[in-house]
Amino acid sequence: MSLPKNPSSQPKVLFVDDEDSILSSAKRLFRGKGIELITASSPHEALSTLHQHDFDAVVSDFRMASMTGTEFLEKVKIEKPLTSRLLLTGYNDNQIIMDAVNRAAVFKFISKPWIDSELLLAVEAAVQHALRKKTNAKLIHEIGEQNQKLEVLSQNLESEVVSRTQSIEDSRSQAEIKERSVKELVAFVKNLSQVSTAAELYETINQEIWRYHGVLTLYFLFLHGAEKGKIYWTQSRTLHEKTVSPRASHFKDLNIRFNHQDDRQWWVESLKKEPIQLAAIPVRGRESNQNGPLALIFLDHNLKPEMLNQLMDRMTERLQVMTIVLDKILLAEQLIMATEQWQATFSAFSDPIAVVDNQENVIRANRTFYKDKKRQCYEMFDDREEICGGCPMPQATLTMEPATGIVQQSEKKIFRVNSYPVKAATRNFEQVVRVVNHYTDVTQERELYLKLVQSEKLAAVGLLAGNIAHELNNPLSGLRSMAQVLKSESPENSTMYQDLDEIEKASIRCQDIIRNVLSFSETSEDGKVASVDVNSVVEGTLPLLKSSLRYQSLELNLASDLPQAFAQPSSLQQVIFNLLNNACQAMPNGGVIVITTWKKKNEVGITIEDNGPGIPEDILKTIFEPFFTTKSEGQGTGLGLSISKGIIEKFKGRLVAESAVGKGTKFNIVLKKA
């Protein structure tokens, strides 16, 4: 092994002995030997010197005044462990050697007095040993340092990798979040596109916030103008709605509000409950000319601020699309409202009304128009397979002008139909696209009209009968007169005379009939009310009834001392005839008719009684109404009783009916005594 060339890097050795001569001889020995020898005359001096230089070896005498060499070297071991320690001792004592090795880890023992070459070799070996130890220590230290550096490096690298990985993962999850939120937004928009009512919109928004557990209830207030609104919410999974008055002026505000005092106050007043935390999100309509919002979303919640913000971000993101939907809903609601109004107006008509298109399909009809919902107007109106006869619809379509017609339902109801064409311009020319049909029930009107026609006919027949009677009278006079003349020329007992007498009698009978027909056909206005012998009027009526009285028998109870009554003979006769005729017709298979005349105070009466089937009570009330009849067509006009009543009342009298079903009917003509 070679010592370092650089003198500054010469090995340094500390030599300690309290005898100066020994120190001097040591100095001499090591001069020029490539070792810098520094001496100390006491352990204390040596210990302080020890810190001033970096010694490779320390040589110490065992026997020193202040402490032993072993004690001293022990301290050196502690202070400078890499420095090699050598002990000079004159004692060959095993105890000392063992102690020095154990306590101070002495590298070599040198016997005193030393042999110079031995000392030199021992010191050089100790220096070498120290140098080796130092080099080792240095190497170990360097390796340690390197290791440490390496460790740091690897640690850095690792954390770099971790952070890189993290950032990659972060960016990926952020992209995922973004993608998900976009997807959710798209889904929301898609859901919204299906929405057409405020309630549906409520459901859609509710789906958006269900995952925010802090939201207790979502409320959706839809404003119908400044005074009216409808609020929707769910409670026990059921959708509730309530009409409210959003009077508060702050509802004009378009900013999101949290726990606003006005909101809360309105809330308590309107919904009678206290919200925990109240967030209000106004939503404006896109094209509505309203100044404020068209709707408000309220959240009753106990969300943490962080979550609330997140939810608000989410809602804000969706406000724009909601705006569009709100307009749609508003329009739909207005449409529904208009439709409802129109429908209500339509149903308010008691007359049937139908809107019908070109193919006779009913577009709309009110409830009185149909029994069952069907396609075609004629199916609905009358269960027909083709258009109703008389329907003016084709004419209205063709002429483009309103048209009128008469339609009869199978149930005999008659309707006047007014068809009003609805025109629309299509491809440059006007066309009737549909027709509004208005039906008026004219059944009664029509029946009255027919009866009137009938009664006019009757009047004409009466007039004709009068004329015929006159025409008959003439030849009849001749016949009668001729019979009289011829009779006068025949012997009274001859067959000729008797035959001529029969001719005369027959002529007289004919003339009686004619006279009665004439008096019957006279209108009541012709005659003046005067004193009338009621009995003779009754008797005068009977010949007219011969054709009616076939199976019925007639009993007469005429009062003998009957005073005269106020009446007009021919009219009174007409009334008696009517009543008797009715009695006959009520008993076509026979029965008894009793005619009684009577007086009572200042009244004179005629009672006509039959033992026919009688008249039920409900019908009895209506028998005096014009055109009331139970007779089949051709048998009566239904005017008889009404006219009769009118006639008697003109005489200041009264016509009264009494009846019992199964027993018969009684009519009393009560007249004023003359």
Partner 1 sequence: MKVLIVDDEVIIGRAIQRAFVAAGHEVSLAHTGIEGLEKWQNTKPDVVFLDVIMPGLTGPQVIEEFKKRNNGKTIDTHIFLMSAHSDVNQEDRAKAAGADGFIPKPFENIFDIVKKAESAIRKGDIK
Minimum distance of partner 1 from residue 575's CB (angstroms): 23
Task: State in Å, rounded, how far the first CA of the chain is from the last one.
Answer: 187
97 binds partner 1 (CB under 8 A): no
In order, the DSSP letters of 569-605 are HHHHHHHHHHHHHHHHHH-TT-EEEEEEEEEETTEEE
Q: Which of residues 484 and 629 has its CB atom nearest to partner 1 in the complex?
A: 484
Burial class (CB in 10 A: 0-12, 13-18, 19+), 113: exposed
**Residue 86 backbone phi and psi in degrees, to 5:** -125, 140
CA 208, chain centre distance (Å) = 20
Output the smallest distance, CB 518 to partner 1, in A.
10
Residue from 442, 479, 554, 592 binding partner 1 (CB under 8 A): 479
Q: What is the DSSP string of 358-405?
A: TTSBEEEE-GGG-SS--SBHHHHHH--SSPPTT--HHHHHHHSS-EEE
Residue 466: CB minimum distance to partner 1, A? 10
The b/e string for 170-202 (b: 16+ C-beta within 10 A; e otherwise) is: eeeeeeeeeeeeeeeeeebbebbeebeebbbbb
Cα–Cα distance between 446 and 196 in angstroms, integer? 50
| # of chain residues touching partner 1 (CB under 8 A) | 18
Binder among 164, 228, 375, 470 for partner 1 (CB under 8 A): 470
Sole window of 352-360, 429-437, 468-476, 582-590 interacting with partner 1 (rule: CB under 8 A) = 468-476
Q: Which is nearer to partner 1, 83 or 507 (CB)?
A: 507
Pairing of strands 57-61, 108-111: unpaired
- In the region spanning residues 113 to 152, those forming contacts with partner 1, defined by CB under 8 A, are none
- In the bound state with partner 1, the residue whose beta carbon lies nearer, of 481 and 498, is 481
Q: State which residue, 431 or 511, has the beta carbon closest to partner 1.
A: 511
DSSP assignment of 527-584: SPPEEE-HHHHHHHHGGGGTTT-SSEEEEEE--TTPPPEEE-HHHHHHHHHHHHHHHH
Q: Please select the residue that binds partner 1; options are 49, 197, 404, 473, rule is CB under 8 A.
A: 473
Q: Count other C-beta atoms under 10 Å from residue 240's C-beta.
A: 12
Pairing of strands 57-61, 84-89: parallel
* Residue window 416-455: x/- pattern of binding to partner 1, with contact defined by CB under 8 A: ----------------------------------------
Indicate whether 592 belongs to the interface with partner 1 (CB under 8 A).
Answer: no
Angle, vertex CA 186, rays to CA 185 and CA 187, nearest 5: 90
Shortest distance in whole angstroms from residue 486 CB to partner 1: 7
CB burial of residue 234 (10 Å; 0-12, 13-18, 19+):
middle
Q: Say how far apart CA 502 and CA 505 lie, in whole Å.
A: 5
Choices 191-199, 395-403, 420-428, 471-479 (CB under 8 A): range interacting with partner 1: 471-479
Nearer to partner 1, 131 or 476 (CB): 476
Site string for partner 1, 482-521 (x = CB under 8 A): x-xxx-xx-----------------x---x----------
Cα 631 to Cα 147, 588, 635, 639, distances in angstroms: 134, 12, 6, 12
How would DSSP label each residue in 132-172?
HHHHHHHHHHHHHHHHHHHHHHHHHHHHHHHHHHHHHHHHH
When the beta carbons of 400 and 482 are compared against partner 1, the nearer one is 482
Q: Which is nearer to partner 1, 408 or 484 (CB)?
A: 484
Query: Residue from 481, 494, 536, 630 that binds partner 1 (CB under 8 A)?
Result: 481
In angstroms, what CA-CA distances link 339 with 170, 335, 476, 490, 658?
56, 6, 80, 99, 56
Among 477, 498, 531, 635, binds partner 1 (CB under 8 A): 477
Confirm or reject binding of residue 474 to partner 1 (CB under 8 A): yes
Identity of residue 667: F
**Could you tell me the smallest distance in angstroms from the CB atom of residue 457 to partner 1?**
24
By rule CB under 8 A, what string of x and - marks binding of each residue 313-352 to partner 1? Answer: ----------------------------------------
Stretch of 178-186, 209-217, 453-461, 475-483 contacting partner 1, by CB under 8 A: 475-483
Shortest reach from residue 567's CB to partner 1, in Å? 19
- Sole window of 134-142, 322-330, 380-388, 474-482 interacting with partner 1 (rule: CB under 8 A): 474-482
**Closest separation in Å from C-beta 455 to partner 1:** 26
Residue among 90, 144, 475, 616 that touches partner 1 (CB under 8 A): 475
Binding site for partner 1 (CB under 8 A): 470, 473-482, 484-486, 488-489, 507, 511
